[in-house]
Structure 1
Amino acid sequence: MNRADLSERLSMSGTAPTKTYVVEAHADDPAPVLARLEGVSSVRPTDDVYLFEVATGFGDLWVDTLDRRFWRFHTDASVAESNRFLRRNIEARRDLDWIWLSSGQLRSVWPQARRKAVLTDFRSGRLTSGVSPASTLRLQLKGDAADAITDLISSDPRYRSALAFDRIQIHADEPEYGTVEEVISRRGKFLVSGDSFELHSAIVSSVVDRYRAFVEACEGRGMRWSGLGDEGGGRLSGSVISLNFGRPIEDLRGWIDELVSSRAPFRLWGVPRFEDGIAEVDAVDLHIGHRLRLAVGEDWLRVYLPSGSCGNTVARLIANLQHRFDGSLTLVDNELEHLRIA
């Protein structure tokens, strides 16, 4: 068994699509991590040193770790069982996390493909008062008019904050590869049917490459203090990652308390301080255990990410704020904003 055999092992059928999950990992050696996952009965190496066959009670998964940071879990097992298995393990561990695609990244998954359906899902919960024009907005659109309808909603200031893409369905037809139907979710789950595992892999790689560019750009802005030696003093490098919101925070104390409550999906913990209408908190990202500082005003948020921290923290924060507070938020940094929506 090697990577080339995956196209023979995975069915990619229209009635039972193949599932691919992209998971962010922080591990030097994948095998022990996979063996410790709850529900795993065995981990078998293959002829490819980066490919593992993982046996569970609900079926087998083939885990491709060639990309040392973004692993791919492939399976033909039940989507409900696969979802449950990965959710249980990812949300209980510090060394694994979902990838968190922004609405813009999801809309531009494979530009040459035809978009067949769109699902948006906005649920504000405790981050808004519940009296806004659209505290909950869930749309399922099929057909060629889906883009026009979502553009119409996003142009209306009453509703644009509640437009957040949850998943899309595309049809891709490439003469040199073949044809696939893909349903892609904002947490990096791909359901695929068709006749070309190679095209599916190319689509997954394209999504991962663009997502990696954003995450690494965030990490490149990490704050670092460098001492100047015997002369004393030092130099601060890096930059703040700033978000602007298209709606005001009505209850700052309740808002920040919810953000750093340790619960999924934000997975942040901290004790906020309040002064002059601004909240500050030295938070801990429970995914990897790194610290970061947040400052929040009425319609803005600033992230001070220390050098060496994980940029997936920022991606998770932005993606979930889009789905729970403001789907129209923007990044002040032009390069980051371009990568977020590219």
Structure 2
Amino acid sequence: MAVSQPINSRRDMLSIFDARLQNTQSDLLEDTRLEFGRNMLKTAIIESNISPNQALQSEIIDEVHEVEEDLWMTKTETTEGEGWLFLDCYHERLWSVYSLAESTIFNSAIDSLLKSEGGGLDRLWLPTNEVEQIGDMGDFEGIKIGFAADEVFPQTFVEENFEFTDLSIDGSGPNSNHLYKILKSTDEIQDFISLSSIKIRREEEDEFVRERITNEGAFTTRGGTDIRLHLSTVGRIKDQYERLLGAVEQNHLIGADDQENGGRARGSPVVIRFSKPVPDIEEFLSHVVNAQDPFRLWGHVRQTSEEGYKVDGVDAHNGDKIAIEMSPEWLRLYLYGDACGNTALRLFTNIQHYYDPAAELVIDDV
């Protein structure tokens, strides 16, 4: 993105985004494609456990310009090239990163910001039912279903345990919601439906916005008439995700509360129930707690009973201590002290996407 006019306030930034939003709609209507160099607005919501100043020290950031309180314009350099990002930290926990850079540059910059071990930044991890709820915000315009076991598990494991090595369906148009319902009701594939992105059109009065939203909290704004509708969509998904995080962190952090005559234990593990028994728990865990993407967990696996295993480990996101107990039918995740609830959502969402789309997450008060 070439900055061709001063950006001295949030209003200036939004004015540029609003013009791009409306021009995108015009370009797509006239030519069904974008003019070269006129990129769609892209947004990523990222979950943070650090201060903005710490994030701005990232090695990929070459320049930092403070626009106003809680808003910075940064020039980033990655292997894909240079680009400008706007880091909006108005929400203390869930930040917004905006850009008009090319998709490859934007995605590379976001990946680089989040990859540092113990760096305190993470993606959103929206389970399939949460992505479905986004569809209720507007009219369906498209869906993408992605099940990709072979990206995480080795070929022999996949061949022995899955009917599909991968399942990818990308549907567009007003009938995409009907297609999704048909697929979910089809016995042969309903247990392999993992919703990875959705396209919606939101309208309020005479204004509209068209969005593509992924299960990692990334947006591509595909046209519209008012940037405020995009900001409203982002805000609603932040509220939705904050409720999920709150449910985990208020009810499932293991610890103790001081009382007059001692202490009282609090918290319970997050439970994931598998739709079918896991045949080889030890091998399954070896690909989940190996410190690699997408799970980003590391630990020591040991057998505790004929069918039971335990992991004592850490989350590479924050370095938080975790423990896992697992049987063929369920997995229990223990988060201790002030651990981050994003760990549970990352684990479950990636189990859905790479192993068992029909798995169930059991957390209190959702």
Output the TM-score relative to the length of structure 2.
0.85
Partner of 1:136: 166
Residues 23, 299 of structure 1: alpha-carbon distance in 2 compared, 3 angstrom cutoff: same
1:7 to 9, 14, 20: 14
Once the two structures are TM-superposed, the CA of residue 39 in structure 1 deviates from its matched residue by: 2.6
Output the TM-score relative to the length of structure 1.
0.91
The alignment partner of 1:147 has SS state of helix
- The reply to whether residue 65 of structure 1 matches residue 96 of structure 2 is no
Q: 1:138-217 residue pairs with structure 2 within 5 A?
A: 138-175=168-205, 178-192=207-221, 193-217=223-247
Partner of 1:258: 287
Partner of 2:5: none
Greater shift in the superposed pair: 87-96 or 122-131: 122-131
The alignment partner of 2:238 has SS state of helix
- The reply to whether residue 249 of structure 1 matches residue 278 of structure 2 is yes
Partner of 2:75: 55
Partner of 2:27: none
Residue segments in structure 1 that go unaligned for 5+ positions in a row = 337-342
Once the two structures are TM-superposed, the CA of residue 162 in structure 1 deviates from its matched residue by: 1.5
The alignment partner of 1:61 has SS state of strand
The alignment partner of 1:135 has SS state of coil
The alignment partner of 2:365 has SS state of helix
- The reply to whether residue 26 of structure 1 matches residue 36 of structure 2 is no
Measure the CA separation in 1 of the matches of 2:329 and 2:186.
Answer: 19
The alignment partner of 1:223 has SS state of strand
The alignment partner of 2:216 has SS state of coil
Could you say what the CA RMSD is over the residues aligned between the two structures, in angstroms? 1.9
Does structure 1 retain, via aligned residues, the 8 Å contact 2:76–2:109? no
Partner of 2:107: 83
Measure the CA separation in 1 of the matches of 2:365 and 2:183.
Answer: 26
Measure the CA separation in 2 of the matches of 1:65 and 1:334.
Answer: 29
The alignment partner of 1:247 has SS state of coil
Residues 334, 237 of structure 1: alpha-carbon distance in 2 compared, 3 angstrom cutoff: closer
Measure the CA separation in 2 of the matches of 1:91 and 1:27.
Answer: 14
1:225 to 247, 253, 256: 256
The alignment partner of 2:202 has SS state of strand
- The reply to whether residue 74 of structure 1 matches residue 105 of structure 2 is no
Residues 134, 335 of structure 1: alpha-carbon distance in 2 compared, 3 angstrom cutoff: farther
Give CA-to-partner distance per residue, 1:151-196, whole Å, 9 cap, x none.
23323444223111111111112116x2111111111111112221
1:117 to 142, 145, 165: 142
Residues 33, 278 of structure 1: alpha-carbon distance in 2 compared, 3 angstrom cutoff: same
The alignment partner of 1:171 has SS state of strand
The 4+ residue runs of structure 1 with deviation greater than 6 A are none
Partner of 2:63: 42
Greater shift in the superposed pair: 16-25 or 156-165: 156-165
Does structure 2 retain, via aligned residues, the 8 Å contact 1:134–1:158? no
Once the two structures are TM-superposed, the CA of residue 331 in structure 1 deviates from its matched residue by: 2.4
The alignment partner of 1:305 has SS state of strand
Measure the CA separation in 2 of the matches of 1:288 and 1:5.
Answer: 35
The alignment partner of 1:59 has SS state of strand
Greater shift in the superposed pair: 187-196 or 203-212: 187-196
Write the letter of the residue equivalent to 1:51: L
The alignment partner of 2:110 has SS state of helix
1:319 to 339, 346, 349: 349
Does structure 2 retain, via aligned residues, the 8 Å contact 1:90–1:98? yes
Does structure 1 retain, via aligned residues, the 8 Å contact 2:135–2:198? no
Q: State, as a whole percentage, how many aligned pairs show the same letter.
A: 25
Give CA-to-partner distance per residue, 1:281-309, whole Å, 9 cap, x none.
11200000001111111121111111311
Once the two structures are TM-superposed, the CA of residue 96 in structure 1 deviates from its matched residue by: 1.0
Measure the CA separation in 2 of the matches of 1:147 and 1:88.
Answer: 34
Measure the CA separation in 1 of the matches of 2:224 and 2:270.
Answer: 41
Give CA-to-partner distance per residue, 1:273-332, whole Å, 9 cap, x none.
112201111120000000111111112111111131100001111110110111111123
Partner of 2:130: 105
